[in-house]
Amino acid sequence: MKVRILGIQPGTVTVGMTNEEYFQKQLKLAEEKFSGEELIVFPELMTSKYFGYVREKRWFQYAEDFLTGPTTTAMLALCKKLNTNICYSLFEKAEDGFFNTLGLVSPIRGVYGKYRKIHMPGGDLRYNECYENYYFKSGNTMPVYDLDNGVKIAMLTCYDRSFPEQWRAYFLKGAEIICVPACTMGLRKDMFVTELQTRALESHSYVIALNRAGEEKTENEEKPRVHFGKSLVIDPLGNIVASLEDEPWTVLSVEIDTDNNKYARARLNWERDRHPELYGIVSDVHYGKAGIVYELGF
């Protein structure tokens, strides 16, 4: 089945711009560039500056209810106006904690999909000055949903992309499109595209990855971050279908064909040839040492 997709690569929150202005500018860009696509995908934490490099309680005030908060409300209005499905991001406040959450909305079914980021960067701040595990609890489900046209879609968020176990789970659940909203920068630039190509091939799915582009600095952050963009669409054999570089406030629009998923699975039949009886160590909590610190030796 052919599916047209619009991906949004915004710039950053610049000096003098409010979080609300930043959010609305993305919605306006999507509306201006929309040309009948069946799915729009926005990047991670699209409602504000990226605050993961500071540890301040004040950022919790921007968290919102998933169903009734302003972000989902705006997305429901936009999907109905454009008659399209939308994958979007928000900082969720729930009874059981705070989450880095993605949602799916439809003009027909309303809110029908929800994913909470599972893998949180952080830890030894000598090497990784990131506090996402201060703000967000980890999600504990990996759902696959149907778009209005029946195509199966899954979601993961930024750092999740580095855990092939999650991709393989989506492969086994039959995902045809995997959306990867990201807010990434720095040392991961060189591996971003290659890593996602590998994951697309491993999961025999289309990968739709969106990132912001440009320089940004949050109050009390030591130095500016540079988000490298590189939003792209990759097919189920790992080929790049469409891509951007570091252009802020731009989009990619592409048509994919999910019949290619079936061809990839027939050509390289991971499901037939795997040996799950040998892979128990991957999910055995008794192996490995969570949180171990490795000294770099220099």
Q: What is the pLDDT of residue 122?
A: 81
The answer as to whether 245 is a domain residue is: yes
pLDDT tens string 203-257: 999 999 999 999 999 999 989 999 999 999 999 999 999 999 999 999 999 999 9
pLDDT tens string 11-45: 999 999 999 999 999 999 999 999 999 999 999 99
User: Would you say residue 297 has pLDDT above 50?
Assistant: no
The answer as to whether 17 is a domain residue is: yes
The answer as to whether 275 is a domain residue is: yes
**What size, in residues, is the chain?**
298
CB 208 within 8 A of CB 7: yes
3-state secondary structure of 240: strand
Q: What is the pLDDT of residue 183?
A: 97
**Domain at 71, CATH number:** 3.60.110.10
Q: Which residue has the tokens 């994951």?
A: 199
3-state secondary structure of 174: coil
Helix/strand/coil percent split, the chain, to 5: 30, 25, 45
The answer as to whether 298 is a domain residue is: no
- CA nearest neighbour of 221 among 80, 74, 39, 13: 13
Q: Is the pTM of this model over 0.85?
A: yes
Q: What is the pLDDT of residue 294?
A: 44
The answer as to whether 294 is a domain residue is: no
Number of folded domains that form the chain: 1
**Rounded Cα distance, 84 and 108, in Å:** 9
User: Region 272-284: what's the mean pLDDT?
Assistant: 91
The answer as to whether 57 is a domain residue is: yes
User: Region 118-129: what's the mean pLDDT?
Assistant: 73
**Rounded Cα distance, 194 and 12, in Å:** 24
User: Would you say residue 124 has pLDDT above 90?
Assistant: no
The answer as to whether 207 is a domain residue is: yes
Q: What is the pLDDT of residue 123?
A: 63
User: Would you say residue 10 has pLDDT above 70?
Assistant: yes
pLDDT tens string 58-80: 999 999 999 999 999 999 999 99
CB 232 within 8 A of CB 196: yes
pLDDT class for 128, splitting at 50, 70, 90? low
pLDDT tens string 155-202: 999 999 999 999 999 999 999 999 999 999 987 888 999 999 999 999
User: Would you say residue 126 has pLDDT above 80?
Assistant: no
pLDDT class for 89, splitting at 50, 70, 90? very high
Question: What range does the domain containing 264 cover?
Answer: 2-283
The answer as to whether 288 is a domain residue is: no
